[in-house]
A and B are shown apart, each in its own frame.
Chain A
């Protein structure tokens, strides 16, 4: 797989921003695909009973979307050597066709001499960021 080379990347580069609609159907698919069957991610009644604003997206799904965003940019998912985040704000997913609209953007915030780039990602829902400082370390080609 071709991945971006260090020569193609500069500190301060913005990654092409993207938007992702996360619907209830996506949550059901992700629950099955990930093995995370916690009912807060698909059962409105249960989610409200345990004090949540409604059915919320899996944090790991949101993080994986951020990861995919970085992988699409660098061209090779294997280039990501580390990633981490805080789940600072739940993403309530309404029971409609649009679901929750996530706006994902990112920036190269560091570039070290060994060709490792630090990407700081922002995932926003309704104008507020839902992940706390998601950062990915990417080994450039």
Chain B
């Protein structure tokens, strides 16, 4: 067995630093949960704009989707952290500075809101008109129809795709180390700088991310499948 392969499989160094590395992973989870809430909320808002009857709203929604879906998350993170404060400071008249965590959540949340907007829009538009008319005929308000009839079906239909996007988002949280959010990748590079043994550290990080994503995604799929399928014949 070659020396480098042996080294990469020897994860004792990773294990040695497990506390600090896992603390990093917890940070990943924080960023992920906050960014996912932002992405889903803003994404739903943008989707509702895109299907609005009034065209100015539709234009606004489309603009949102195109801007954020086509922006690389890497650049967005850097831009929000370093450029946005420079733009905002003169407008607001005081020195704006974002905590790296806040920048990370804003940047990733908005980028993924672009994807979520499209997923929501497709889901909402796939609901047959008749389901809405049946709601109206029963005296339901448009808001009730959205929350009681449309969204429960949309969530079931978009679950596989939405889950994929959450997986992408979780993996994207590793780039926040760029702006010094102390996530796991950040800790890995810190420890690497000290120990000069990158191979087991990066391998260990890759394995941990894989294990977390695989286990959680699989669990969600298994748990939701029956519930999701109940609407189909």
Decide if A and B are genuine partners.
no
**Residue ranges of B at the interface with A (Cβ–Cβ < 8 Å):** none
